[in-house]
Amino acid sequence: MTVTIYIPGDSGAVAVGADAVAEAISTEASRRGHDVHVVRNGSRGLYWLEPLVEISVEGRRIGYGPVAVADVPGLFDAVFLSGGDHAKGLGPVEEIDFLKRQTRLTFARCGIIDPRSLEDYEAHGGLAGLRAAAAMTPAEIVATVTESGLRGRGGAGFPAGIKWKTTLDAPGETKVVVCNADEGDSGTFADRMIMEGDPFVLIEGMAIAALATNASQGFIYIRSEYPHAIASMRRAIARARQAGVLGRPQREGGKAFDIEVRVGAGAYVCGEETSLLNSLEGKRGVVRAKPPLPAHHGFLGRPTVVNNVITLASVPIVLAKGAAFYRDFGMGRSRGTIPIQLAGNVRRGGLFETAFGITLGELVDDVAGGTFTGRPVRAVQVGGPLGAYFPRALFDTPFDYEAFAAKDGLIGHAGIVVFDDTVDMMAQARFAFEFCAIESCGKCTPCRIGAVRGAETIDKIRQGIEPEKQKALVTDLCQTMKFGSLCALGGFTPYPVMSALRHFPGDFGSPNRLQAAE
Ligand SMILES: Cc1cc2nc3c(=O)[nH]c(=O)nc-3n(C[C@H](O)[C@H](O)[C@H](O)COP(=O)(O)O)c2cc1C
Ligand code: SF4
């Protein structure tokens, strides 16, 4: 009997040796005369256990991890092909607490199916949403997505249905769906994980967006640092084309929709939608003033939907199960689930998809298990490099767009980066200015000049040059950047800076908290 072994081909798993483990397992199996079928699945998102090897035993998946090449002979000796006991044994993977506590809607198949197989995708519920959408009018699809409450997962949390309606109503012969897979935020990897682990769900989501807006042209803009995701999407697009999911009208009299992968050259600002469109058009990645909105005047002036990977990958389940099913998860105006990415100094780093409403403290202390170093958690940055730093005093904040905004923070792309008590928050504030200065597109003055002056001013605090005056200057500068910048790069840099200053004032001085303790 052939035994199926799952060894992630996800780049996070490959980075810690999954390719070598796959090779060692295949070699050892043939040496011992075992008949095995190795599937390079996506990651389950339990990164501290990667490479996580799973064996299919009587319909259950038994896990072993983290597996090293040196463990392989021992695993065979322990009869792991039948789920035998071993020091690296984890038991049934679905029973691992980190996974069991999740509500996986968008990531339902990630880590389970073979990402190269459209048949496997369909066998696990794939394409049901597209079929449902093909039987609906564009306005009905838009209404379903609007009623589901799905908001953009790229950062701004804008309702997806409203954006789609604007594009649907905009005049224009050719309409475009652009998937933003630039994923520049620090500590985030949900887009990459799903593109590598379940690429067809993104294709299906884009095909539904195309049906909803009468679009015929699609692009996925992926950062060049994601070669595995690029290969995965290109492979899946070719397969979808072959199967008629792309390149053929999905409804009678409808337009054929196709997708092309475009690779970004690695500028953070190219994740901003108008910069991204310039980059797609072969121009420099500079932000465009809005209006006009991309929905009216986007790629080459055509009405264009720009959505994040997770937004689009969440659409198939909305169409397959209905708006009410999705809307029933969550709190307030934050409906459905959110794939939260736990990173930085944590014991259990990974992807945790759950309904909105879980508190920051539960995520950091309980789900992630505190810090990797074992030291106390001091600060948590939520929402990427432009997100605020939260102290422990704010750990009761529920994961919800409005609740975070009320505490001068943002959810962004739902990346959480944890720091222990050795963090120097003045250095983090300086880093925010420095990051903005390096990544600024240069179009507007508050960002281009302000970020450089901000870093210089913090240097003066560190040098003990009139620190109180410099702190007042930083505050004033942040106000100017917040209200005077053209886009959120300059406009949101004040969030990390001001939150550091507000919540960790003892770090801003000369000597500061850490220097004084030395
Ligand atoms: C500086 C900057 C960087 C951004 N980077 C990304 C990114 O990497 N991925 C993304 O989806 N959105 C990013 N955004 C947000 C996009 O401009 C846009 O709001 C998003 O792609 C819309 O999709 P959504 O509504 O599905 O979230 C960025 C915005 C700014 C200002
Ligand atoms: S805020 Fe910065 S990145 Fe945004 S348009 Fe202005 S200069 Fe460019």
The answer to whether residues 52 and 46 touch, using CB atoms and an 8 Å cutoff, is: yes
Assess whether the C-beta atom of 376 lies below 6 angstroms from ligand 2.
no
| Gap between the Cα atoms of 130 and 210, Å rounded | 10
Helix H or strand E encompassing 129: helix 128-134
Average pLDDT, the chain: 97
- Greatest extent of the chain over all pairs of C-alpha atoms, in Å: 76
CA dist., res. 58 & res. 477, Å (int) = 63
Using CA positions, which residue lies closest to atom 8 of ligand 2? 441
CA of 492 relative to ligand 2 center, distance in Å: 10
Please tell me whether residue 468 adopts helix, strand or coil conformation: helix
- Ligand 2, closest atom to CA 287? 5
Mean pLDDT of 497-509: 95
- The owner of tokens 């009623």 is 147
- Binned at pLDDT 50, 70 and 90, residue 456 comes out as very high
Q: Which of 305, 221, 338, 205 is nearest to 271 (CA)?
A: 221
Answer yes or no: is the C-beta of 473 below 6 A from any ligand 2 atom.
Answer: no
182 lines ligand 1 (CB under 6 A): yes
* Rounded alpha-carbon distances, angstroms, from residue 467 to 12, 30, 312, 430: 43, 69, 47, 14
Give the C-alpha separation, 101 to 87, whole Å. Answer: 24
Closest C-alpha to 220, from 242, 196, 243, 244: 196
pLDDT at position 172: 96
pLDDT at site 477: 97
Q: Is the CB of 441 under 6 A from ligand 2?
A: yes
- For residue 491, the ligand 2 atom closest to its alpha carbon is 1
The per-residue pLDDT for 510 is 74
Q: Which amino acid makes up residue 88?
A: K
Ligand 2 binding pocket includes 287 (Cβ within 6 Å): yes
Report the atom number in ligand 2 closest to the C-alpha of 442: 7
Residue 184, ligand 1, Cβ within 6 A: yes
Give the pLDDT band of residue 388 (cuts 50, 70, 90).
Answer: very high
- 320: amino acid identity, one letter: A
Asked if omega into 8 is within 30° of 0 (cis), the reply is: no
Q: From the CB of 297, is ligand 1 less than 6 Å away?
A: no
Concatenate the DSSP letters of all residues of 475-511 into one string. Answer: HHHHHHHHHH-SSHHHHHTHHHHHHHHHH-GGGSSSS
Rg (CA), the chain: 24
Question: Which is more confidently placed, 253 or 62?
Answer: 62
Confidence of residue 426 (pLDDT cuts 50, 70, 90): very high
Between the CA of 288 and the centroid of ligand 2 the distance, in Å, is 9
Q: What is the mean pLDDT of residues 78-95?
A: 97
Is 272's C-beta closer than 6 angstroms to any atom of ligand 1? yes
